[in-house]
Chains A and B, each alone.
Chain A
Amino acid sequence: MTDTARTANTGWLTTADHKRVGLLYLLFSLLFLLVGGALGVALKAELATDGVQIVGDNFSRLFSEHATVSVFLFLAPAWVGLASYIVPLQIGAARVAFPRALAFSLWLFVGGGGLLLVSYMVGSPGGTRSLGLTSAAPLVARRGGANDATDLWILALMLLSLAAVIAAATLAVTVLRLRVPGLTLRRAPMFSTATLVTSLGILLATPVFLAGLLMLFLDQHTGGRLFLPSTGGAPAVWQHTLWLFGRPEVFLLSLPAIGAACDIVATHARRGFLDDRPLQAAIGLFGILAFGAWWLPDNAARALVLPNPPVLNAVLGGVIGIVVLVLLGTVVKGRVKAHVSLLFVVGWILLLALAAANGIIAALVGVEGRAWTEGFLHTAVFGAPTLLVAGAVYHWAPKLFGRHLHQATGGAVFLLLFGGFALLGLGDFLLGYNDAPARLADYPPGEDWGTFATLATIGGVLLALGAVLLVADIVRALAGKARAAEEDPYEGLTLEWAAASPPPPHNFDAIPEVRSPYPVLDLRTGAAK
Chain B
Amino acid sequence: MFSYATKVLGALTVAALVTAGVYYAVEGGRSGAVLLLILSAAAFFGLLTVVASGVDIAPHVPADAPPPERNAHTPGPAATGSAWPVITAGSAVLLAVGVATNEVVVYFGLAAVGLAALGWFSKAWADHPTWTPRVGGRVVDRFVAPLTTPVGTGLLTALIAISLSRPLLATDVAVAPWISLVVAIAILGACAWIAVKPRVTSSAVTAIAVAGAIALVGGGIASAAQGEREYHHKAHVEHPVEITAKDNAFAEQRVEAKVDDHGEVIVDFHNLDHDVFHNVALYEGETPDAPAVFNGQGFPGHEEKTYRIHVEPGRYTFRCDFHANMVGTFVVGGG
Cβ-defined partner of A155 (8 Å) among B46, B58, B96: B96
Main secondary structure of the interface of B (DSSP, over half): helix
The answer for the CA separation of A485 and B50 in the assembled complex, in Å, is 38
The answer for the CA separation of A103 and B83 in the assembled complex, in Å, is 10
| A111 pairs with B89, CB closer than 8 A | yes
| B42 pairs with A284, CB closer than 8 A | no
Closest-by-CB residue of B relative to A296 is: B32
B199 sits at the interface (CB 8 A): no
Q: B88: which A residues are within 8 A, CB to CB?
A: 104, 107
Scan B56-79; emit 1 where CB is below 8 A from any A CB, else 0. 111101000001111111111111
Q: A106: which B residues are within 8 A, CB to CB?
A: 85, 89
Closest-by-CB residue of B relative to A114 is: B93
The stretch among A88-96, A327-335, A458-466 that forms the contact with chain B is A88-96
| A108 pairs with B82, CB closer than 8 A | no
Closest-by-CB residue of A relative to B43 is: A204
Q: B90: which A residues are within 8 A, CB to CB?
A: 107, 111
Whether A240 touches B35, Cβ cut-off 8 Å, given contacts A94-B74, A159-B96, is yes
The answer for the CA separation of A488 and B115 in the assembled complex, in Å, is 46
A15 sits at the interface (CB 8 A): yes
Whether A512 touches B69, Cβ cut-off 8 Å, given contacts A176-B53, A197-B8, is yes
Cβ-defined partner of A108 (8 Å) among B84, B89, B120: B89
| B12 pairs with A291, CB closer than 8 A | yes
Cβ-defined partner of A288 (8 Å) among B15, B76, B82, B93: B15
The answer for the CA separation of A525 and B67 in the assembled complex, in Å, is 9
How many of chain B's residues have a CB under 8 angstroms from any CB in A?
Answer: 62
Q: B53: which A residues are within 8 A, CB to CB?
A: 176-177
The A134-182 residues at the B interface (CB cut-off 8 A) are 148, 151-152, 154-156, 158-159, 162, 176-178, 180-182
| B11 pairs with A513, CB closer than 8 A | no
Cβ-defined partner of B84 (8 Å) among A18, A100, A183: A100
Q: B31: which A residues are within 8 A, CB to CB?
A: 236-237, 240
Cβ-defined partner of A185 (8 Å) among B5, B92, B97, B101: B5
The answer for the CA separation of A285 and B8 in the assembled complex, in Å, is 8
Q: Could you list 30 examples of A-B contacts with CB < 8 Å? A: A14-B81, A16-B79, A16-B81, A17-B79, A94-B75, A94-B77, A103-B85, A107-B85, A108-B93, A110-B89, A115-B97, A148-B101, A151-B99, A155-B97, A159-B96, A183-B58, A184-B56, A184-B57, A196-B5, A204-B39, A236-B29, A284-B8, A285-B11, A294-B36, A507-B75, A508-B74, A510-B70, A510-B71, A512-B71, A526-B68
B contact residues vs A (CB 8 Å cutoff):
3-5, 7-9, 11-12, 15-16, 19, 23, 27, 29, 31-32, 35-36, 39, 42-43, 46, 50, 53-54, 56-59, 61, 67-86, 88-90, 92-93, 96-97, 99-101, 120, 124
A contact residues vs B (CB 8 Å cutoff):
4, 7-11, 13-18, 92-96, 99-101, 103-104, 106-108, 110-112, 114-115, 148, 151-152, 154-156, 158-159, 162, 176-178, 180-188, 193, 196-197, 200, 203-204, 208, 236-237, 240, 244, 280, 284-285, 287-288, 291-292, 294-296, 498, 504-515, 519, 522-523, 525-527, 529
